[in-house]
Amino acid sequence: MIPGFLPALFGHFLVFSLLSIGGAITVAPDMHRVLVGEMAVLTDAQFNASIAIAQAAPGPNILFVALMGYQAAGLLGAAATLGGILLPATTLALAVSRWGHARQDWLAVRAFKSGMAPIVIGLLVATGWILTAQTPGWTHVLLTIVTAVLAWRTRLHVLVMIAVGGVLGALGFV
């Protein structure tokens, strides 16, 4: 490994962190440019696998960032990328959350919360739609709709629904 590689990796991810409005996945194209292009520490296949594994595995999808660092430079690489993506964003989130909470009676703060609420909920529906629409075919869209209704109206356990989806998929129904 080239000396100064880890700090450079950390530095890149500090910047990605501040650009990642809507989640780290939104700066994936930039990560690709740096890791696969400029630095050439990952192959295309490794890059795509990082995203796919983090999405399939339990846990927040942000962990794909750690997988990229891990494949590029082992555990220290994972620490550099995950630490870099978390540090600025979490500090900012904490500061803003405290600021807003201390002023929750302010008109501006209440207007922000009320105004953003329907947009945030619309974004969740959009996220679900994009996740299911990226696969061709219709059976998985049906499965998504049935799951949405069950999650909305029943207390059926999340893991039961995930398991049923996995079995249906493994048997080739979706």
Partner 1 sequence: MPESPDAPVVGDPSATPHGIDGSTPTRPRPESLRELFLTFNWLALQGFGGVIAVTQRALCEQKRWLTREEFVDALAIGQVLPGPNVVNVALMIGDRFFGWRGAFTAMAGMLVVPLVLVLALTALYDHYSTVPAIAGALRGMGAVSAGLIVGTALKLATALRGNPMGVGACAALLGLTFGAIALLRWPLPWVLLALGSMACTFAWRRLAAAGA
Q: In angstroms, how far is CA 103 from the centroid of its own chain?
A: 30
CA atoms of 62 and 105, how far apart (whole Å): 33
Nearer to partner 1, 2 or 16 (CB): 16
Nearer to partner 1, 6 or 16 (CB): 16
CB of 68 to partner 1, least distance (A): 11
Q: For residues 30-59, which are near partner 1 according to CB under 8 A?
A: 49, 52-59
Query: Binding to partner 1 by residue 116, rule CB under 8 A?
Result: yes
Query: Binding to partner 1 by residue 86, rule CB under 8 A?
Result: yes
- Residues with Cβ within 8 Å of 150's Cβ and at least 6 positions away in sequence, in order, are 156, 161
Structural contact between residues 9 and 77, judged by C-beta atoms closer than 8 angstroms: yes
Closest of 77, 69, 51 to residue 131, by C-alpha: 51
Residue from 12, 34, 35, 71 touching partner 1 (CB under 8 A): that is 71
Query: Binding to partner 1 by residue 121, rule CB under 8 A?
Result: yes
Two tokens, residue 81: 């990328």
Residue from 3, 29, 44, 153 touching partner 1 (CB under 8 A): that is 153
- Region near partner 1 per CB under 8 A, out of 4-12, 29-37, 67-75: 67-75
Closest of 42, 126, 151 to residue 164, by C-alpha: 151
Query: Binding to partner 1 by residue 126, rule CB under 8 A?
Result: yes
